[in-house]
Structure 1
Amino acid sequence: MKLPAYAAALVSAALVTALAGTSTTSAAPVADVRALPNVNMEATVKAAQIDPRRPDTALTPGAKASVLLVEQALRDKKLLDAEYVDGHFGTKTVAAYAAYQRSLGYTGLAANGLPGKASLTKLGAGRFTVTRVIEPGARVSTGGVVINTRTRAMLTEAERLLGRTFVLDQGSYNPGGDPTSAGTHDGGGAVDISVKGMDSATRTKAVRALRRVGFAAWLRSPEQGDWPWHIHAVAINDTDLSSQAQHQVGDYYLGRNGLADRGPDDGPKVPIRTWEEYRRN
């Protein structure tokens, strides 16, 4: 049967298109559209500070999916037993992550068990994409002490809220051996602030300002330890935190005072946020 002219033209065009699509010389490569899942670094690091301090295996809100991906990767590297792949970033997962960091050649604070940007990105190669990245920044000298740029930005904002400049009695990255700090200042994110010249109300306002921008902060008195009156503050989610400072952050989230007795929190009540959460809100 002879096709009408318009029908023959349509068939011819379709054949040309089909043949072009099967050409081995002009066809574009087919992209792999399978997207990798995301690991929220902010939520994961938060869980790594809080979960080891919990009395049970409860999960940190918003962190389960990301922690599971990290734990599955650690399991596949034979660093974490399958029974601990549960979304709870407890002591076993912290130890496994520290072992992974050491396997990369990291030492010191770079192998503290908190997921850093570089190690987490390497762990996720081909498995997951890292989002909500946190970086402590470079070490800088401020007021005669050393802190990192993330901590400095947080202090600057707290000073703006308070309307007063802080004087730092102690900074971060101590070489160790200070009996009054018990190791909390051996990593990043930890500072002690002088309260000289502040009345009681101003001291409370200062602690509140620090908490608002993302510090776990408390007013310390001589009755609590071998130290003068001061404010102790630890930057939540600083990935350079010493293990002692990590524990203080976890206790802060759990309503405790950050001291060895793990007593109830004695500071002003504010919504607990990280620096990054504060900036977004």
Structure 2
Amino acid sequence: MPRQFDGKRVRAVRRGKDLSQGELAAAVGVKAPAVARWESGTDHPKGEKLPAIAAALGQPLDVLFPHDGPPDLQLLRCDAGLSVADAAAILGTSRVPVSNAESGRRRLGDAYVRPLAEAYGVTEAELLAAQDCSFGIRPETSGDERASAPRTVGEKINYLLEYGYLDQDAPSNDEIVRRVNEHASGPVVTVEDIAALRAGATTEASEAVRAGLAEALQVDVAIFQDDAELNEEVREFLESIRFLKSIRGGQILGLAARGNGAGLSAEMMATINNLVGELKHKLPDVEDEG
């Protein structure tokens, strides 16, 4: 999955650092109007620009631009700050092998694995695992992966906002604050408090705030207890929503647009069909469309 980009958040962090749009643009290697478009939401930076943006703003890449799940080849390349052309130049080839591998059409030749892993700053095993993800092959859930489930209050807020809303807009920080304070019958939290929790700047939240968050986000209050992971049933349901949301948002079908236009590989299509079948029993019953 690609990293999440929030132009409003970038603008807030930039202003907090007393940087102008022109200064950020210069640090990233673009023109000031490009930064203005990013912050207004009319455009998004290329993935390979995100590490430079995070560095210029003094923020960890994973905090400013989070992503879900294991990395695929595209994410590894972008996190290394490289374009497809850059990666192809490292391999001494055209863009086709890189594009085909990233879009799940044709795997990298053996001779390309080591130099690309070195360029991306990962091991060959990590590169091959990312290639599997690009082909729609998901790794088995491990204890380490379960341990990485959202634990802090902020991580849980971000998780629920990102994947818990399919056909409606997720509430803004302002809306969350309003609902929490209404539930508490008084001002127990501010917009700045919620922003700090979501950014990981703080992990402290009173019982009143935790209870209000559960009410605001329509989940059981137990989810917001200290170090309480989402239970397996809730995680499976939200994972189902995440998967369907990615289809509706074009993130899976959009893979067909990468590369030479040949479309998704048969292997990836089979994987998607299997996943849809697995998820049917986890979703609320719906009437078949006639």
TM-score range normalised by the length of the shorter chain? under 0.3
Report the structure, 1 or 2, having the larger helix content: 2
TM-score of the pair, normalised by structure 2: 0.25
Report the structure, 1 or 2, having the larger strand content: 1
TM-score of the pair, normalised by structure 1: 0.26
The structure number with the bigger radius of gyration is 1
